[in-house]
Amino acid sequence: MSVKLIAIDMDGTLLNEHSELNPATIQAVQAARAQGIKVVLCTGRPLSGVTPFLKQLAITGDDEYVVTFNGAMAQTVEGRIITSLTLSHNDYIDIEALSRKIGVHCHVESEDHIYTANANISPYTVGESFLVNMPVRYRTAEQMRSDLPIVKCMFIDDPQILAAAIKKIPAEIYDRYYLVQSEAYFLELMNPAASKGRTLQVLAERLGFTADEVMAIGDQGNDLSMLKYATNSVAMGNAIPQAKALAKYETKTNRQDGVAHAINTWALTK
C-alpha cells in the first residue's frame, strides 16, 4: 500500500547537526507533497519552535498539521488545536516537588512560555528557550497560576545527574504519567494519554489514513511510539538502538540527509 502520510521527527532527524534543514531534505519533502503525500512534523517542540521550518518547507494552510509537545497536542500549522492533553496544577505541584527530592532541575511548558521555580535557572532551560522560541518565566510553585494549562513537565540536567535521578523516581509516577527521555539531558512527564504515536494515530484516522499508509521517521526514545504505530517505520542512522530494532527500515544519519534518502527510497512513486 502506498504511503499517504509521512510523520517526521525534527531534532536529530529532519534537522542536521546544526539544527538546520539541508537542501536535499527540503527537496524531498516538497517532492512528497507534490505527489499528494501529507507531511506532518512530529516533535517535542511547541508550534513556535516548528514554524520557521514549516515556512522553509512551504507547508502552510489550515489543512496542514503538526504534532507538538511529544504528542500532547495536534494542531494545524496555523495554530488551531485538534487535540490537547495537558496536566493539572496538582500534577505540577507533585512533579516540581519530586524534582527537588531527587535532585534535578525542572521546568514546565505552557503553549507559549517556559516556567521554572529554580532560582538558579538551568542552562538546559535557557537552551530550550532559544531552541523553541519561547521566553522563560521564573515563578515559585506558590506563584504559579492554578488555571494555567501545562502541556508538559521536564526534568533537565547533565546526563549523569539525570540518569542517577531517574533511578529514584517512584513507580507510582510511571503509573500516573507518560514518561519519555527525548535527550540524554531531558526527561519529559506528560498526560498519560499523550505520545507521538497515539496522537499521530488520532490525526491519521481523522484524515482517513490507516497505519499501512503512514511512514514515521525518528531517532530517539520519544519516537518509539510512532515507530510502533506506522507500518512503514524508519530509524535514522544516528538513532538509538531501540529505534533501530523497532523500525522496518534504517536510513542514513541526519548529517547525511537521511530523511531525504528515506522519502526518495520508500515513499515516492517512481
**Residue 9 is among the residues annotated as catalytic for this protein:** yes
> What count of residues does the chain have?
270
Instruction: Name the active-site residue from 9, 11, 219, 257.
Output: 9
Q: By the 8 A CB rule, do 134 and 113 touch?
A: yes
With vertex at residue 199, the alpha carbon angle to CA 241 and CA 220, rounded to the nearest 5 degrees, is 20
Which stretch of DSSP H or E encloses residue 260?
helix 258-266
Say if CB 253 and CB 237 are below 8 A apart. yes
Closest by CA to 40, choosing from 11, 12, 63, is 63
Q: What is the DSSP string of 157-181?
A: --HHHHHHHHTTS-HHHHHHSEEEE
Place of cell 521554572: 116
**Burial (0-12, 13-18, 19+ Cβ within 10 Å), 136:** middle
What are the residue numbers of the active site?
9
